[in-house]
Amino acid sequence: MVKVRVWDLPTRVFHGTLALSVVGLVVSGQWGGDAMLWHFRFGYAVLTLLLFRLCWGFVGGHWSRWWQLPLSWRSLMAYRQGLRQPMLTTGHNPAGSWSVLAMLCWLALQVGTGLISDDEIANAGPLTSLVSGAAVSAATAWHKGLGKGLVLVLVALHVGAVAWYKWRKHQNLMSAMLHGDKMVDSAVPASRDDLITRLGACVVLLLCALAVRWALSLGTA
C-alpha cells in the first residue's frame, strides 16, 4: 500500500465550507424573517465557492481536475463489476463523480434562481430587475418548491452514500477529504499541495468573489 496526497488543501476547504454554507442556506431559508439577510449571504458564498470549484477543476491538484472524474459509461460499468483500478478509485469513483457533478450543478441552478426570485413581501433577489415578471415568478416557484426539495434529496443521498461506504464496504471516504491522503494499492500521481498551490487558490477565490460582486451589482446599475 502506498500513501498519496489525493485532495489538496483548497479542495478540502472548499468541500467543508460548501457543506456549512448549504446548511446555513437551508436553515436561514426555513427560519425566514430577519434570517433572510443571512440566506442571501450564504447564497452569495455558495455562488463564489461554485465558481471557485469550476476554476479549480482546471488548475487545481491532479485529482481535483475535471478530466480526472471517471464519468464514462465504461468506467461506471467497470466499477460496478468490481474492478478496482487506481484511476477509478483513487479520487472520486464513477458513482461519486456523478453524484458530485449533480450536486454542484443543482446548487448552481438553485442559487441562480434565487438571484431572480421575489417573495413579494420583503425579499427579492438582486437581479430581479434584469428579467421579466414571468421569469421572476417561475424562478421563485422553482426556488421555493421543487428546487429546494431536490437539493435536500441530493444532500441526503450524498450523506447516505458516504455512510453506506463506511459501514457496508468499510471505506472511509471522509478521512481522505479531511487530511488529504489516501492509501492506494499502487503508485499513482499525487496532487500538488504546497504553498504556491495554496496561494494560487487564494488568488482564484478572490477573483471569483470579485466576479460575483460585479455580477450582483448589475441589478442596481
Give residue-wise pLDDT tens across range 22-31: 999 999 988 8
Measure the CA dihedral 20/25/27/32, to 10°: 150
The three-class DSSP label of residue 126 is: coil
Range 135-164 average pLDDT: 90
Percent of the chain with pLDDT over 70: 97
User: Given this model, what pLDDT does residue 120 score?
Assistant: 79
Provide the number of structural domains found in the chain: 1
Which residues pair with residue 183 across a beta bridge? 3
Give residue-wise pLDDT tens across range 173-189: 788 889 999 988 878 89
Give residue-wise pLDDT tens across range 54-87: 999 999 999 999 999 988 888 888 777 766 676 7
Backbone angles phi, psi at 124, to 5 degrees: -140, 140
- Decide: 3 and 183 in contact? Cβ < 8 Å: yes
User: Given this model, what pLDDT does residue 1 score?
Assistant: 76
Q: What is the pTM of this model?
A: 0.92
User: Given this model, what pLDDT does residue 18 score?
Assistant: 96
Q: How many Cα atoms are found within 13 Å in the side-chain-facing hemisphere of 63?
A: 28
Q: Which domain holds residue 179?
A: 2-220
Q: Is the pLDDT of residue 122 over 70?
A: yes
CATH number of the domain to which 50 belongs: 1.20.950.20
Q: How many Cα atoms are found within 13 Å in the side-chain-facing hemisphere of 187?
A: 0
User: Given this model, what pLDDT does residue 201 score?
Assistant: 98
